[in-house]
Amino acid sequence: MTEHLSTFQVKQLAVRALPEDEAVAAVVHTTKCPSCHERFVEELRSQRGSTPFSFTLEPEFWFRDDHVDFDLLVELADKTLDEETKEIVNIHLKTCETCREDVRSFLASREATAREVNISYVRPEYHDTHVGTTQWWQRLQSRPVYAVATIVLLALAVLIGVIALKRSGPLEASKQDQRNSVTERGPDIYPSPAPDVASSPSSAADSAKIAILKDRGGEVTIEKDGRVTGLEEVSENSRQYIARAVLSERIDTAEVLKRLSTEQSGLRGNDDGPQGFRLLYPVRRVVTEDRPVFRWESLPGVSSYRVYVLDAEGNQVGQSEELPPTQTQWKAPPLRRGQTFSWVVTAMVDGKKVVSPSASAPEMKFEVLSTADTQELSRLKKSNSYLALGVFYARVGLLNEAEREFQNLIKLNAHSELPRKLLESVRRLRKQTN
């Protein structure tokens, strides 16, 4: 380009509106033409106007638009991120509430679905990969060489199979039976491997009473094969849990408590705000009521409080009105049973917002007892069994209540070790989860 730039070209170059090649040619020209360069610089200045030059090197500014995408969420959940990237993600999360909630929600979803990923809900025909089979066969039609090779391989496999069957027929058949019986059992409802406690008439001969306990409603007997007598009004499901606890002489950690006591992800950033205040109830526990009364410590100098309740996805499901400084409790709106929630209280002190739990503290989670468990509890309360109630409470994560029931059971069975062992087991769990 030997000619001077037109005014329009100069403007286009300044606002980066020239096509690449024209822009390059224009710049090459300005490097040799002081007058055109001067016009270009003037144009840049006039576009900028009088805005003073300022910039920041704060990483929060630099990473504020680098949102956490799906792949990064997966890496976070899988704990495969290196330390530097984790630090960068933390920086972004400090300023991006949406991403904070994305992370929180994703980790909660991982926890909630952790068990079900190994459970099959599909009908058997989907395991047969019927669509895939059709395509596989169709693909062979277009590749005769592969088709011939496949037929030969299939024939070989059949031949080997026939020989093997002749040699070890009964054994294989037995293995097949075992596989079928496993398949037919369906999803395992137990959170951890349980002793086989299914009642079976054929095993009666092997039975032996391993525990006889005095209970509020009479005598309860647990046999070696897991049969429980004396609690006929209690559901089969609950009887199985009772047998399992008695046979193992301990209470397993309730899954819900593992979920609620999950440590913070380390991704919520540091907070340098004023001194916080403690939330008192509910604190990482299960509540039986669907309208729990939230309680928290009072904070000196506070002008008002506000309570927020969030579901596991991070969506706000309840919010109090502005509460006076004298009020340190608030009754939630009805919450969905069987769901995990978290709650946050904000306090205004000298015009500043103090949030509890703070950004760097773990979420304050709780779970509302599910409808099915609430119904079961109501049935068990009528059973007059400390043992049944104790095991139930422990299973659903209500450890205080479980402790109370086992203490009552000890009073009735002063010379039996079993109730004490169950009580100790519950107390150990409390320590672990607190």
Partner 1 sequence: MDNVLAPYLNAKDEEERQQHLHELLMLRAAPLVRNVLLRRLGFYVSAQGINENNHDAEDLYQEAMTRVVQELNQLQSPTGTEIENFELYVSRVATNLCTDFLRAKSPARTRLKYSLRDLLKRHKDLASWEHRGELLCGVAAWRDTGKSPFSDQPYEDIEAKLDSFKSLHFADEDVRLAPLSQLLVELFDWISGPVEIDVLVRMVAYLLDIKDQPLASLNDPSLIIAANTQSSESHVEANELLARLWQAVIHLPAEQRDSFALGFKDEAGQDLFSILLAAEIVSWDELAHGMGRSLEDVVRLRLRMPMDSAGLADALGASRQNVHKWRFRAIRRLKTELKG
> 216 vs 337, which CB is nearer to partner 1?
337
Q: Kindly state the tokens that stand for 184.
A: 């037919």
Q: How far is the CB of 171 from partner 1 (least distance, A)?
A: 28
| Per rule CB under 8 A, count of chain residues that contact partner 1 | 90
DSSP state of 129: T
- Asked if residue 348 lies in contact with residue 302, where contact means CB atoms within 8 angstroms, the answer is yes
Q: Which is nearer to partner 1, 315 or 432 (CB)?
A: 315
Binding to partner 1 by residue 95, rule CB under 8 A? yes
We find the least distance from the C-beta atom of residue 374 to partner 1, in angstroms, to be 12
Closest CA to 379 of 207, 217, 235: 235
Residue 341: what are its φ and ψ, rounded to 5°?
A: -130, 165
Provide the minimum distance between the beta carbon of 162 and partner 1 in the complex, in angstroms, as a whole number: 29
Decide: is 411 part of the binding site for partner 1 (CB under 8 A).
no
Sign of the dihedral defined by the CA atoms of residues 417, 421, 424, 426, in that order: negative
- Which residues fall within 8 angstroms of residue 295, CB to CB, at 6 or more apart? 279, 280, 281, 328, 329
Q: Which stretch binds partner 1 (CB under 8 A): 85-93, 195-203, 291-299, 383-391?
A: 85-93
Tokens representing 162 are 């026939």
Residues 310-349 that bind partner 1 (CB under 8 A): 310, 313-317, 319, 336-338, 344, 346
Q: Which stretch binds partner 1 (CB under 8 A): 63-71, 147-155, 327-335, 415-423?
A: 63-71
Cα 7–Cα 13–Cα 19 angle in degrees, nearest 5: 115
Closest to 400 measured CA to CA, from 366, 433, 430, 365: 430
Task: Determine the distance from the C-alpha atom of residue 369 to the mean position of all C-alpha atoms in its chain, rounded to a whole number.
Answer: 17
Is 87 a binding residue for partner 1 by CB under 8 A? The answer is yes
Of these, 143, 278, 353, 382, which contacts partner 1 (CB under 8 A)? 353
Beta-strand pair 279-281/365-368: unpaired
Q: Is 74 in the site for partner 1 (CB under 8 A)?
A: yes
**Beta carbon nearer to partner 1, 348 or 412:** 348
What are the backbone angles phi and psi of residue 304, rounded to the nearest 5°? Answer: -165, 160
| Contact in structure between 99 and 68 (CB atoms under 8 Å) | yes
Q: 89-124 as b/e, with b when 16 or more CB fall inside 10 Å?
A: bbbbbbbbeebbbbbbbbbbeebeeeeeeeeeeeee
**The one among 5, 39, 40, 241 contacting partner 1 by CB under 8 A:** 40
Closer to partner 1 by Cβ: residue 101 or 249 = 101
Q: Please give the Cα distance from 68 to 65 (Å, whole number).
A: 9
Contact flag: residue 1 with partner 1 (CB under 8 A): no
Q: How far is the CB of 301 from partner 1 (least distance, A)?
A: 20
Q: What three-state secondary structure class fits 319?
A: strand
- Reported as half-sphere exposure (CB side, CA atoms, 13 A), residue 216 has a value of 16
Q: Are strands 340-349 and 218-223 parallel, antiparallel or unpaired?
A: unpaired
Decide: is 290 part of the binding site for partner 1 (CB under 8 A).
Answer: no
Out of 41, 149, 165, 171, the only residue in the binding site for partner 1 (CB under 8 A) is: 41
CB of 390 or CB of 397, closer to partner 1: 397
**Looking at 44-52, 209-217, 221-229, 292-300, which segment touches partner 1 (CB under 8 A)?**
44-52
Binds partner 1 by CB under 8 A, chosen from 2, 3, 7, 54: 54
For the window 172-211, what string marks contact with partner 1 as x by the rule CB under 8 A?
----------------------------------------
**Where in 213-272 is the site for partner 1 (CB under 8 A)?**
none
Paired residues of 348 in beta bridges: 304, 353
Smallest gap, in angstroms, from Cβ of residue 122 to partner 1?
5
Query: What gap in Å lies between CA 24 and CA 395, rounded to an integer?
Result: 73
Nearest distance from residue 202's CB to partner 1, in Å? 33
Is residue 94 near partner 1 by the rule CB under 8 A? yes
Binding residues for partner 1 restricted to 360-399, rule: CB under 8 A: 370-371
Residues 97-156 that bind partner 1 (CB under 8 A): 97-98, 101-102, 105-106, 109-110, 112-113, 116-123, 126-132, 135
Site string for partner 1, 2-31 (x = CB under 8 A): ------------x-x-xxxx-xx--xx-xx
Query: Contacting partner 1 (CB under 8 A), which of 33, 60, 258, 295?
Result: 60
Query: Which residue spans within 175-278 are E strands per DSSP?
Result: 209-215, 218-223, 228-229
Q: Please, which residue, 12 or 425, has the CB nearer to partner 1?
A: 12
